[in-house]
Structure 1
Amino acid sequence: MDEEVIPILRVKDAAVAVAWYGRLGFVRRWEHRFEPGFPAFVEVARGGVRLFLSEHEGDARPNTLVYLRVRDVDAVADEFGVRVEDAPWAREIELVDPDGNRLRVGTPAE
Protein backbone atom coordinates (compact mmCIF):
# COMPACT_ATOMS: atom_id res chain seq x y z
CA MET A 1 0.00 0.00 0.00
CA ASP A 2 1.24 3.49 -0.87
CA GLU A 3 0.90 6.08 1.86
CA GLU A 4 -1.14 9.12 0.92
CA VAL A 5 -3.15 11.99 2.31
CA ILE A 6 -6.81 12.41 1.38
CA PRO A 7 -8.44 15.76 2.19
CA ILE A 8 -11.95 15.61 3.65
CA LEU A 9 -14.23 18.43 2.54
CA ARG A 10 -17.51 19.30 4.25
CA VAL A 11 -20.47 19.39 1.87
CA LYS A 12 -24.17 19.98 2.47
CA ASP A 13 -25.43 17.84 -0.42
CA ALA A 14 -23.11 15.08 -1.62
CA ALA A 15 -24.95 14.63 -4.94
CA VAL A 16 -24.53 18.34 -5.79
CA ALA A 17 -20.87 18.22 -4.73
CA VAL A 18 -20.16 15.06 -6.78
CA ALA A 19 -21.65 16.74 -9.87
CA TRP A 20 -19.55 19.89 -9.31
CA TYR A 21 -16.34 17.91 -8.79
CA GLY A 22 -17.23 15.93 -11.91
CA ARG A 23 -16.64 19.14 -13.86
CA LEU A 24 -13.05 18.98 -12.54
CA GLY A 25 -12.67 15.43 -13.85
CA PHE A 26 -13.41 13.63 -10.56
CA VAL A 27 -15.61 10.53 -10.60
CA ARG A 28 -17.59 9.06 -7.70
CA ARG A 29 -15.94 5.83 -6.51
CA TRP A 30 -18.15 4.90 -3.55
CA GLU A 31 -20.62 6.27 -1.03
CA HIS A 32 -21.37 5.22 2.56
CA ARG A 33 -24.35 5.96 4.81
CA PHE A 34 -24.84 4.32 8.19
CA GLU A 35 -28.56 4.02 7.39
CA PRO A 36 -30.85 5.29 4.62
CA GLY A 37 -31.43 9.03 5.06
CA PHE A 38 -28.29 9.50 7.15
CA PRO A 39 -25.45 11.81 6.00
CA ALA A 40 -23.34 10.59 3.08
CA PHE A 41 -19.57 10.10 2.98
CA VAL A 42 -18.33 9.89 -0.61
CA GLU A 43 -15.00 9.29 -2.32
CA VAL A 44 -14.28 11.02 -5.62
CA ALA A 45 -11.13 10.48 -7.66
CA ARG A 46 -9.30 12.03 -10.59
CA GLY A 47 -6.61 9.58 -11.61
CA GLY A 48 -4.55 9.00 -8.46
CA VAL A 49 -5.96 12.06 -6.66
CA ARG A 50 -8.75 11.38 -4.17
CA LEU A 51 -11.05 13.53 -2.06
CA PHE A 52 -13.56 12.56 0.58
CA LEU A 53 -16.78 14.60 0.57
CA SER A 54 -18.66 14.42 3.85
CA GLU A 55 -22.13 15.53 4.86
CA HIS A 56 -21.22 14.75 8.50
CA GLU A 57 -21.07 18.02 10.44
CA GLY A 58 -18.03 17.18 12.58
CA ASP A 59 -15.76 15.84 9.84
CA ALA A 60 -14.38 19.03 8.34
CA ARG A 61 -14.70 22.78 8.46
CA PRO A 62 -16.30 24.75 5.64
CA ASN A 63 -14.11 27.07 3.55
CA THR A 64 -11.13 24.73 3.36
CA LEU A 65 -8.38 25.44 0.80
CA VAL A 66 -7.01 22.54 -1.27
CA TYR A 67 -4.29 22.84 -3.93
CA LEU A 68 -4.84 20.65 -7.00
CA ARG A 69 -1.93 20.30 -9.42
CA VAL A 70 -3.10 19.39 -12.94
CA ARG A 71 -1.49 18.93 -16.36
CA ASP A 72 -3.73 21.49 -18.11
CA VAL A 73 -5.07 24.32 -15.97
CA ASP A 74 -6.30 26.09 -19.11
CA ALA A 75 -8.82 23.31 -19.78
CA VAL A 76 -10.12 23.57 -16.22
CA ALA A 77 -10.31 27.37 -16.52
CA ASP A 78 -12.31 27.02 -19.75
CA GLU A 79 -14.75 24.62 -18.07
CA PHE A 80 -15.43 27.12 -15.28
CA GLY A 81 -15.12 30.32 -17.34
CA VAL A 82 -12.32 31.84 -15.26
CA ARG A 83 -9.05 33.53 -16.17
CA VAL A 84 -5.69 31.88 -15.52
CA GLU A 85 -3.16 33.89 -13.51
CA ASP A 86 0.58 33.50 -14.12
CA ALA A 87 2.72 33.15 -10.99
CA PRO A 88 6.47 32.39 -10.92
CA TRP A 89 5.74 28.80 -9.77
CA ALA A 90 2.61 27.94 -11.79
CA ARG A 91 -0.32 29.03 -13.94
CA GLU A 92 -3.25 29.01 -11.51
CA ILE A 93 -6.94 29.58 -10.98
CA GLU A 94 -9.01 29.60 -7.83
CA LEU A 95 -12.47 28.00 -7.68
CA VAL A 96 -15.07 27.82 -4.92
CA ASP A 97 -17.30 24.76 -4.71
CA PRO A 98 -21.04 25.01 -3.86
CA ASP A 99 -20.18 24.67 -0.14
CA GLY A 100 -17.56 27.41 0.00
CA ASN A 101 -14.50 25.14 -0.14
CA ARG A 102 -11.73 26.77 -2.17
CA LEU A 103 -9.62 24.94 -4.72
CA ARG A 104 -6.48 26.50 -6.09
CA VAL A 105 -5.76 24.65 -9.33
CA GLY A 106 -2.42 24.99 -11.04
CA THR A 107 -0.05 23.72 -13.69
CA PRO A 108 3.60 24.10 -12.61
CA ALA A 109 5.74 26.61 -14.51
CA GLU A 110 8.26 25.03 -16.81
Structure 2
Amino acid sequence: MITPIFRIFDTEKSTDFYRDFLGFNVDWRHRYEDNMPEYIQVSFHDALIHLTEHHGDASPGSSIRVKLNNVEDYHHTLTQKEYAYANPGMKHTPWKTIEMTVTDPFLNRITFYEEK
Protein backbone atom coordinates (compact mmCIF):
# COMPACT_ATOMS: atom_id res chain seq x y z
CA MET A 1 0.00 0.00 0.00
CA ILE A 2 1.16 3.51 -0.78
CA THR A 3 0.41 6.31 1.68
CA PRO A 4 0.64 9.83 0.25
CA ILE A 5 1.71 12.71 2.47
CA PHE A 6 0.04 16.10 2.08
CA ARG A 7 1.55 19.29 3.51
CA ILE A 8 -0.89 21.26 5.64
CA PHE A 9 -0.53 24.47 7.63
CA ASP A 10 -3.45 24.31 10.07
CA THR A 11 -4.72 21.13 11.69
CA GLU A 12 -8.11 22.65 12.57
CA LYS A 13 -8.76 23.59 8.92
CA SER A 14 -7.57 20.18 7.76
CA THR A 15 -9.87 18.41 10.25
CA ASP A 16 -12.82 20.55 9.12
CA PHE A 17 -12.10 19.59 5.51
CA TYR A 18 -11.11 15.93 5.74
CA ARG A 19 -13.34 14.77 8.59
CA ASP A 20 -16.32 17.11 8.56
CA PHE A 21 -16.64 17.72 4.80
CA LEU A 22 -15.17 14.65 3.08
CA GLY A 23 -16.14 12.15 5.79
CA PHE A 24 -12.65 10.76 6.41
CA ASN A 25 -11.82 9.18 9.76
CA VAL A 26 -9.06 10.77 11.83
CA ASP A 27 -7.16 7.60 12.77
CA TRP A 28 -4.45 9.19 14.89
CA ARG A 29 -2.58 12.41 15.58
CA HIS A 30 1.00 12.89 16.73
CA ARG A 31 2.84 15.89 18.10
CA TYR A 32 6.22 15.59 19.83
CA GLU A 33 5.53 18.55 22.12
CA ASP A 34 2.80 21.19 22.55
CA ASN A 35 4.50 23.78 20.33
CA MET A 36 5.62 21.32 17.64
CA PRO A 37 3.94 20.66 14.27
CA GLU A 38 1.29 17.94 14.12
CA TYR A 39 1.19 14.80 11.96
CA ILE A 40 -2.19 13.16 11.28
CA GLN A 41 -3.45 10.04 9.54
CA VAL A 42 -6.88 10.13 7.90
CA SER A 43 -8.66 7.32 6.06
CA PHE A 44 -11.67 6.82 3.83
CA HIS A 45 -12.62 3.35 2.61
CA ASP A 46 -9.29 1.91 1.34
CA ALA A 47 -7.47 5.27 1.14
CA LEU A 48 -4.97 6.47 3.73
CA ILE A 49 -3.46 9.95 3.71
CA HIS A 50 -0.92 11.45 6.06
CA LEU A 51 -1.27 15.18 6.75
CA THR A 52 1.80 16.97 8.04
CA GLU A 53 2.58 20.43 9.38
CA HIS A 54 6.29 19.54 9.41
CA HIS A 55 8.40 21.66 7.06
CA GLY A 56 10.20 19.47 4.55
CA ASP A 57 7.88 16.46 4.73
CA ALA A 58 5.98 17.38 1.56
CA SER A 59 5.10 20.29 -0.70
CA PRO A 60 1.62 21.84 -0.83
CA GLY A 61 -0.19 21.44 -4.11
CA SER A 62 0.16 17.67 -4.45
CA SER A 63 -2.41 15.55 -6.26
CA ILE A 64 -3.63 11.97 -5.87
CA ARG A 65 -6.34 9.76 -7.38
CA VAL A 66 -8.58 7.54 -5.23
CA LYS A 67 -10.67 4.80 -6.80
CA LEU A 68 -14.14 4.76 -5.28
CA ASN A 69 -17.39 2.98 -5.98
CA ASN A 70 -20.46 5.21 -6.43
CA VAL A 71 -18.67 8.50 -7.02
CA GLU A 72 -21.98 10.07 -8.04
CA ASP A 73 -23.53 9.16 -4.66
CA TYR A 74 -20.50 10.54 -2.85
CA HIS A 75 -20.72 13.76 -4.90
CA HIS A 76 -24.39 14.08 -3.94
CA THR A 77 -23.51 13.61 -0.24
CA LEU A 78 -20.84 16.33 -0.41
CA THR A 79 -22.99 18.86 -2.25
CA GLN A 80 -25.76 18.42 0.35
CA LYS A 81 -23.34 19.61 3.06
CA GLU A 82 -23.09 23.07 1.46
CA TYR A 83 -19.46 23.41 2.55
CA ALA A 84 -18.48 27.07 2.15
CA TYR A 85 -15.03 26.45 0.67
CA ALA A 86 -15.65 23.74 -1.95
CA ASN A 87 -18.27 22.86 -4.52
CA PRO A 88 -16.85 19.89 -6.43
CA GLY A 89 -18.13 19.07 -9.88
CA MET A 90 -18.34 15.77 -11.73
CA LYS A 91 -17.03 14.89 -15.15
CA HIS A 92 -17.22 11.92 -17.48
CA THR A 93 -13.88 11.33 -19.20
CA PRO A 94 -13.10 9.91 -22.65
CA TRP A 95 -11.20 7.10 -20.88
CA LYS A 96 -14.48 5.86 -19.32
CA THR A 97 -14.26 7.19 -15.76
CA ILE A 98 -16.47 9.43 -13.70
CA GLU A 99 -14.34 11.86 -11.69
CA MET A 100 -14.77 14.39 -8.92
CA THR A 101 -11.80 16.50 -7.83
CA VAL A 102 -11.69 18.30 -4.50
CA THR A 103 -9.00 20.72 -3.37
CA ASP A 104 -8.13 21.03 0.30
CA PRO A 105 -7.39 24.38 1.99
CA PHE A 106 -3.67 23.89 1.23
CA LEU A 107 -4.10 23.30 -2.54
CA ASN A 108 -3.70 19.52 -2.38
CA ARG A 109 -6.06 17.78 -4.80
CA ILE A 110 -7.87 14.46 -4.51
CA THR A 111 -9.59 13.08 -7.57
CA PHE A 112 -12.13 10.43 -6.65
CA TYR A 113 -12.88 8.29 -9.68
CA GLU A 114 -14.95 5.32 -10.74
CA GLU A 115 -14.36 3.22 -13.84
CA LYS A 116 -17.39 2.66 -16.04
Calculate the TM-score normalised by the size of structure 1: 0.87
Distance 1:83 1:99 in 2: 19
1:96-107 mapped onto 2 (5 Å cutoff): 96-107=103-114
After TM superposition, the structure 1 stretch with the greater mean CA deviation from structure 2, 31-40 or 83-92, is: 83-92
Match among 12, 23, 26 for residue 9 of structure 2: 12
SS in 2 for 1:56: coil
Quote how far apart the aligned CAs of 1:93 are: 1.5
- Percent identity, aligned pairs only, is 25
Partner of 2:91: 85
Runs of 4+ in 1 over 3 A off after TM superposition: none
SS in 2 for 1:34: coil
Distance 1:94 1:18 in 2: 18
Structure 2: which 5+ runs fail to align?
Answer: 80-86
Amino acid of the structure 1 residue aligned with 2:113: G
Matched pairs, number: 106
Structure 1: which 5+ runs fail to align?
Answer: none
Contact between 1:18 and 1:27, CA under 8 Å: does it hold in 2? no
Partner of 2:27: 29
Contact between 2:89 and 2:101, CA under 8 Å: does it hold in 1? no
Cα RMSD after superposing both structures: 1.4
